[in-house]
Amino acid sequence: MEEPYLDIIPEDPPQETEILYCQCKKPSSVYQESNDLGHWLKCGDCNRVIKGSFEAAKPY
């Protein structure tokens, strides 16, 4: 017997749960990235997030 409600529930999109932080001693450059949740800095050498740089977006 087929489950009648399984096709109604949308699948959750995959989410990145682990954030990789920059381990570089002295990055040669950094750049900013952002999305709906906020903005942060990333290392130009390893392309990982600079720890402590995340700032949440302010609700309007």
Residue 51 lies in a domain: yes
User: Among residues 51, 11, 21, 58, which one has the least CA distance to residue 36?
Assistant: 58
Q: Which two tokens stand for residue 28?
A: 């040669």
pTM of the model: 0.65
Structural domain containing residue 57: 27-60
Looking at residue 26, its pLDDT comes to 93
1 inside domain: no
- Is the pLDDT assigned to residue 42 strictly greater than 80? yes
Would residue 3 count as lying in a domain?
A: no
42 φ/ψ angles, rounded to the nearest 5 degrees: -125, 150
- What pLDDT is attached to residue 4? 57
Instruction: Report percent pLDDT > 70 for the chain.
Output: 72
41: in domain = yes
CB 20 within 8 A of CB 40: no
Whether 59 maps to a domain, the answer reads yes
- Asked if the structure places residue 50 within a domain, the reply is yes
Quote the number of domains for the chain. 1
Whether 32 is in a domain gets the answer: yes
User: Using CA atoms in the order 13, 14, 16, 18, what is the torsion angle rounded to 10 degrees?
Assistant: 130
